[in-house]
């Protein structure tokens, strides 16, 4: 689990692709003394497992599905990537709950400065946009951001100077694709309502909680 607050801008040093998997190596300024084998790190919003680390770099396995469904399969050596280590339960939740499981891709269709912020507009699948809400949270390449407006298959958000400077958004231009993860809580609510509309058991209800002594 992550928060969408980027800790470091890493650099893709190598990507070795085989028949069944790929291994990527990322250079980083994250403290290696705090890393452990098997821990999770989000790379551009994709949760991966550390399989090796040395001075100033770590490696992670990437499945064929992840390469196909995210932007990781299109990155070239030298590309900068957003990095975030997994959340500790004692940490402040400065962003929002991010799983590192990408829901889809979006393409930048507009980027312009407005005052001290930058307005980005994205086009994506209409079904993915349906999971967004105005003023709700969305993870863009692992960055926790607030949705300003949704219109059909597109959505808009504003990026403050600090976020722009500390993430790969500073390099993104019109036409670039990014990884999108919609709000975790919103997805569960949508699923609940969908099942209820189909006449399926609604799952946890106030009556169920009371029956089992939770109220």
Radius of gyration of the chain (CA): 19
Tokens at residue 19, please?
């028949």
- Check: CATH 2.40.30.20 for 8-85? yes
Point out the least confidently predicted range of 78-87, 104-113, 171-180, 191-200: 191-200
The whole-angstrom separation of Cα 48 and Cα 58 is 11
**Domain 8-85 identical in fold to domain 104-197:** yes
176 has a pLDDT exceeding 70:
yes
Q: How confident is the model at residue 83 (pLDDT cuts 50, 70, 90)?
A: very high
Which CATH fold topology does 104-197 show?
Elongation Factor Tu (Ef-tu); domain 3 (2.40.30)
Residue 6 or 89, more confident = 6
Q: What percent of the chain has pLDDT over 70?
A: 91
The whole-angstrom separation of Cα 137 and Cα 147 is 6
The whole-angstrom separation of Cα 80 and Cα 6 is 13
201 has a pLDDT exceeding 70:
no
Q: Where are the domains positioned within the chain?
A: 8-85, 104-197
Q: How confident is the model at residue 212 (pLDDT cuts 50, 70, 90)?
A: low
The mean pLDDT of the chain is: 91
């Amino acid at each position: 689990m992550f928060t969408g607050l980027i800790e470091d801008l890493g650099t893709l040093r190598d990507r070795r692709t085989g028949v069944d998997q790929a291994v990527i190596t990322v250079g980083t300024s994250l403290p290696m003394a705090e890393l452990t084998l098997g821990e999770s790190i989000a790379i551009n919003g994709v949760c991966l497992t550390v399989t090796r680390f040395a001075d100033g770099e770590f490696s992670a396995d990437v499945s064929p599905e992840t390469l196909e469904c995210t932007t990781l399969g299109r990155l070239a050596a030298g590309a900068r990537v957003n990095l975030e280590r997994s959340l500790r339960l004692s940490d402040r939740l400065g962003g929002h709950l991010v799983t590192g499981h990408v829901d889809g891709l979006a393409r930048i269709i507009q980027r312009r400065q407005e005052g001290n912020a930058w307005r980005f507009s994205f086009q994506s699948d209409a079904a993915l946009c349906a999971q967004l809400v105005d003023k709700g949270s969305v993870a863009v390449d692992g960055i926790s951001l607030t949705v300003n407006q949704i219109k059909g298959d597109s959505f808009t958000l504003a990026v403050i100077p600090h976020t722009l400077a500390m993430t790969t958004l500073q390099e993104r231009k019109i036409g670039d694709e990014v990884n999108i993860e919609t709000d975790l809580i919103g997805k569960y609510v949508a699923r609940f309502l969908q099942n209820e509309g189909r006449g399926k058991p609604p799952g946890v209800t106030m009556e169920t909680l009371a029956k089992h002594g939770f109220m």
